[in-house]
Amino acid sequence: MSVRLNDIYKSFKVKTGVVTVLKGVNLNVSKGQFVAVLAPSGEGKTTILRIIAGLETQDKGDIYINDKLVNGIPPKDRNVAMVFQNYAIYPFMSVYDNIAFPLKIKHESKEEIKKKVVEVAQMLRIEDLLDRKPHQLSGGQRQRVAIARALVKGSNILLMDEPLANLDTQVRAIARAELKNLHNELGITVIYVTHDQSEAMVLADKVALLHEGVIQAFDDPLVLYKNPPSAWVASFMGNPSMNLIKGVINGCSFEFENYKIDLSENQCKSLPKEVVMGVRPEDIDIGGNIKGKLVTIENIGIYTILHLQVGSTLIKVVERSLTKRNIGETIDISISPDTVYFFDAKSGKRLA
């Protein structure tokens, strides 16, 4: 089933007045897609899910599910299911009873409940866990129970509110892989909110980047990484984040902190005087004519992130060798014009 949001606005009253969280959100999710809504904390990601589910009412705009306008339709009639951050699994109930709970509320017969629970449990490969309690399950198994309870009602749209956030790193990686495989098997429509861009990159067919109340970009995650439409998108997609360096175009060169990077004619012919140059840390080479003072070292394991102070500009560099570095040493780097992006200094929009 498809989901379409048209010009969604939402405000909340707070002690200091009214805060508008969503300022004209537009999003089109096709049937069977896995879409991640990615944003920093506090940007309104969960509010979008709650509006789709009918748990919140938008101030303005329209919600369409399968091309049907659902404004004013109660949650129980929208054919969507929501999986919360803590899974909301009842600890005192067995897996069977947790899955069956929504059906019992609807007063379905015991025979029909058993049939539906067994069917969805088999689909999610948890039929051998039905007698267990939640504390006897792994993180990935609890996730499947939460999804089973959501799907047992016959929902074809699954809304997921940071369901992996409370898992430790290793369990989260396993649960993430299971969720990806599960989506491939079931083919249902998933809208998944997260602040973790690595999670969005791994899971999603498409990523919607939410910032300042609107969707800043919506595309394949690799397209957003390789071809960002703005400085904000460029800095948010990638770990470590892209370096954004303020400077000026002089002739056919980019100049910053008394250093000069020569550009091609195609790059510089349409650029204004003041620009922001973007370059990813992994695209900067060790060795060259730009000198930086090492102020921070992040040892990741397979690579190291070096934080270099170049004048008043901080530049991150990924070094893949196991060279021993010391805080305070001077490191020479070079930036190839073939690896850089340019953004407008005021609007942040992509220039080249």
At 86-110, the pLDDT tens digits run 667 888 899 999 999 888 888 889 9
Return d(Cα 221, Cα 203) in angstroms, integer.
9
Average pLDDT, the chain: 91
Tell which residue, 340, 325, 288, has the closest CA to residue 310: 288
| Position 32 pLDDT exceeds 90 | yes
Return d(Cα 185, Cα 203) in angstroms, integer.
14
Quick one: tokens of 181?
């495989």
Neighbouring residues of 21: CB distance < 8 A, sequence distance ≥ 6: 10, 11, 12, 43, 44, 47, 213
Return d(Cα 171, Cα 43) in angstroms, integer.
27
At 224-242, the pLDDT tens digits run 999 999 999 999 988 899 9
Query: Which residue segments constitute the domains of the chain, with CATH numbers given?
Result: 3-230 (3.40.50.300), 243-344 (2.40.50.140)
pLDDT at res. 222? 93
pTM: 0.85
| Position 2 pLDDT exceeds 90 | yes
Of the given ranges (38-42, 228-232, 241-245, 290-294), which has the lowest mean pLDDT? 38-42
Q: Are 146 and 181 in contact (CB under 8 A)?
A: no
C-alpha distance from residue 264 to each of 230, 269, 310, 339, 349 (Å): 21, 9, 24, 12, 20
At 103-139, the pLDDT tens digits run 888 888 999 999 989 988 888 888 999 999 988 988 7
Return d(Cα 280, Cα 249) in angstroms, integer.
20
Tell which residue, 227, 198, 224, 223, has the closest CA to residue 209: 224
